[in-house]
């Protein structure tokens, strides 16, 4: 029995599911700054940070095993992008902590124009850093995804050659 490479699953995963997740994450980033407190955002950001660091570790640990004779720049790129995304997620947390500190310290409770300006600057930074984190995560995931599927395709081809 010949093993087949699942082209449909690889294509669907890369070109349908991944862009949908990016759109949902960007919608999350844009809407959560104004509506959620640190108590809600902290576990979400720490979980995202942990997953991102784990993905970076996966990329860096796969690097020597995938192709020993070649330097695999795609997995190195993915690991670096995941590392960047994890740092950007931490920056998002710092922005939320700054907003919460200014609100609880009484600086942002006063309804003046500069209070609104500070709040909007923090919101713009949140969106900018968060969107950068999402895009960095997306490009890292795509590089990691493509490399793993390409490796699987080569292994299936080698299995099929050995069976014939």
Q: Give 126: exposed, middle or buried? Use CB within 10 Å, 0-12, 13-18, 19+.
A: buried
Determine which of 53-57, 87-91, 117-121 has the lowest per-residue pLDDT on average: 117-121
Identify the CA nearest to 34 among candidates 105, 96, 80: 96
Model confidence pLDDT, tens digit, residues 57-113: 988 887 555 555 555 788 888 899 999 999 999 998 899 888 888 877 776 666 777
Contact 122, 99 (CB under 8 A): yes
Contacts of residue 164, defined as CB under 8 A and 6 or more positions apart, other chains included, come to: none
Q: Given a cut of 80, is residue 8 above it in pLDDT?
A: no
Q: Please give the pLDDT value at position 82.
A: 92
Question: Does pLDDT of 41 surpass 90?
Answer: no
User: 57 or 14: which carries more pLDDT confidence?
Assistant: 57
End-to-end CA distance of the chain: 10
* Count, residues in the chain: 164
From residue 23, alpha-carbon distances to 16, 28, 130, 139, 146 in Å are 11, 9, 12, 13, 20
pLDDT digits (tens, 9 = 90+) for 122-157: 888 988 998 899 889 889 988 888 888 888 888 888
What's the token pair of residue 132?
Answer: 């950068």
> Structure tokens of 137?
């995560």
Which tops the pLDDT comparison, 164 or 76?
76
């Amino acid at each position: 029995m010949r093993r087949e490479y699942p082209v449909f699953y690889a294509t669907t995963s890369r070109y349908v599911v991944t862009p949908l997740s990016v759109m949902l994450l960007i919608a999350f980033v844009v809407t959560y700054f104004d509506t959620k407190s640190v108590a809600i955002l902290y576990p979400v950001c720490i979980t995202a940070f942990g997953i991102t660091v784990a993905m970076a570790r996966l990329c860096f640990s796969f690097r020597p095993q995938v192709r020993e004779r070649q330097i695999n720049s795609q997995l190195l790129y993915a690991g670096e992008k995941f590392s960047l995304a994890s740092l950007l997620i931490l920056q998002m947390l710092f922005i939320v902590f700054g907003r919460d500190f200014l609100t609880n310290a009484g600086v942002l409770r006063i309804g003046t124009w500069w209070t609104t300006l500070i709040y909007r600057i923090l919101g713009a930074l949140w969106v900018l850093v968060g969107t950068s984190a999402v895009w960095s995560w997306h490009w890292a995931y795509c590089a990691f995804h493509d490399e793993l599927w390409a490796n699987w395709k080569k292994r299936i081809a080698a299995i099929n050659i050995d069976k014939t």
